Amino acid sequence: MLQKLNNFEELCLSFKWDIPEFYNIASDTVDQDIYQNRIALINFLQDGKIEEWSFVDIKRYANKLANVFDHFHLEANARVGIILGQCPETAIAHMACFKSGKISIPLFNLFGTDALHYRLLNSRASLVICDNIGLNKIFEIKDRLPDLKKIICIDSNDEKNNVFNFKKLIEKASDSYSTKKTKASDPALIIYTSGTTGGPKGALLPHRSLLGHIPGVEFPHEFLSSSEPVTDLFWTPADWAWIGGLFDVLLPAWHFGIPVVSYRSQKFNPEFTFDLISKLEIKNTFLPPTALKMMKSFNPSKTVKNLKLRTVGSGGEALGEDLLEWGKEILGVGINEFYGQTECNLTVSNCGAIMPTKQGSIGKPVPGHEVRIVDYKGEFIKEPGLDGEIIVKSDTPVSFLKYWENDAATKEKVKNGWLYTGDFAYKDEEGYFYFKGREDDIINTSGYRVGPSEVEDAILSHPKVSMVAVIGVPDKLRGQIIKAFIVTGDQKNVLTQNDELKQSIQNHVKLKLAAHEYPRHIEFVYQLPLTTTGKIIRKDLRKNN
């Protein structure tokens, strides 16, 4: 935990990692005796009803499922695919894996059969836990998954072909189970990268990764407490299949004994989001940039709903000034931007409680992490304003162990004790980081290196723009020129958007940035290609340009 200090430098100097030799995520969350009577999960159902699950409820069900795993004779470190959305069974499945020494694989329930096949085959998963929708997908690919032996479905009673009903298994199992004594360095999960560049790679995370996340969660959420009475309440629209939902919200909240709201949503709905935050009096939330942009499009005015938010964190894509100002007005709190990757998460962040936030900055290195910027030669950049690649000292407990069965990619990622992110940024004279983008996304135009995020921020502040993505396209004179793909608020007339609107957007950017940074080409589109985590897939936009 971070000390509640008001000075960033003092906080960094006072912080020390204390990672025990033996550590288990389940032991640190649902097994904690002092949390047993607290509410762990508030499950918001599709019909509007609410279920409350205590920590002891989750623990007992996880014990039962762990006994089922043993009854199935799953080997040590067996991989268990979990194809479910935000629901109690998802959390129970992960905890059962941690308790019994298995490796859980969170998988997005909206994945198609190709995506599921790749991940389940690559991980050699021997068991899958899913719902009926996932079950139908698994049946399509099961013959091509030689290691998959059994399937547990949470809402199917059709028990054949090694398919078992979750509730029936739980009813028969004992709720007594001794959590395995695992080392902090033992593997706990495989989380596959979203694949914005190249194919998905399985980042193998150890149990200690939860402890490694704690400072990076406390920082944007301006300190948390395990003490009673518990006043915080977490929720995120980010699916628990991703590190942003699982390790930025669910598991860290439970480390502190703080309840989490769950909701099985198939699609992000900004109106529902406002209502949920208001109705349940959510105090803390992680809202990805795409979600914030959709909320702003839905509610662009200064109409403040009945919100009780204490903290809002966001990361994944840079936020612009216009969006941040909207957040202060509508959400009632500042949005603390942060930065991280699946392989080494939450290493840079803002914390409005102890330091000023700066427009466009993702913050400073979180206490406990050494983050630097290097040039193309691999040498540290000390001069402010010069951009280079973000690297993180890899001995941090939040760092992944390796890529699953991909030593070549692991060696490319981690070199000489440093984890190379492939992301580019620069620092100012006070040590604040400013995200530029991935190397492939940097645009070289007329001798200038332009990050897409700064141009996108400027375009997004135009009143008629809802979403935008920027790429560089080849140009004989300038090397590259900037092209913008824009989603407007008027979706009915996308194909008839006129030159006057294009000129208006271009002039708007020229006033905000510089002459070389405005989009010379603009294409109006109905939607942008996004990863399942809401990040723009710029490589798809570059394919035909």
Q: Give all domains of the chain, ordered by start, each with its CATH number.
A: 444-542 (3.30.300.30)
- Helices of type H across 407-451: 407-413
pLDDT tens, N- to C-terminus, the chain (545 residues): 799 999 999 999 999 999 999 999 999 999 999 999 999 999 999 888 999 999 999 999 999 999 999 999 999 999 999 999 999 999 999 999 999 999 999 999 888 898 899 899 999 999 999 999 999 999 999 999 999 999 999 997 777 789 999 999 999 999 999 999 999 999 999 999 865 445 689 999 999 999 999 999 999 999 999 999 999 999 999 999 999 999 999 999 999 999 999 998 878 899 999 999 999 999 999 998 888 988 988 887 777 778 999 999 998 777 878 889 999 999 999 999 999 999 999 999 999 999 999 988 999 999 999 999 999 899 999 999 999 999 999 999 999 999 999 999 999 999 999 999 999 999 999 999 998 887 778 787 876 668 788 788 889 889 889 899 999 998 887 878 999 999 987 766 666 668 889 999 999 998 888 777 899 999 999 889 887 667 788 888 988 77
3-state secondary structure of 506: helix
pTM: 0.87
Contacts of 440 (CB under 8 A, 6+ apart): 197, 538, 539
Place of tokens 């909206």: 110
| CA dihedral over 156, 158, 163, 166, signed as positive or negative | positive
Contacts of 398 (CB under 8 A, 6+ apart): 209, 212, 213, 216, 344, 345, 346, 347, 369
3-state secondary structure of 359: coil
Any idea how long the chain is?
Answer: 545
- Helices of type H across 72-180: 88-100, 113-123, 132-141, 166-172
218 touches 269 (CB < 8 A)? no
DSSP assignment of 101-114: T-EEEEE-TT--HH
Q: Which residues pair with 449 in a beta bridge?
A: 444
285 touches 309 (CB < 8 A)? yes
Say if strands 202-206 and 402-403 run parallel, antiparallel, or are unpaired: antiparallel
Tell me how crowded residue 302 is: count the other CB atoms within 10 A of its CB: 8
Place of tokens 């973000």: 390
Q: HSE-up of 261 (CA within 13 Å, CB side)?
A: 25
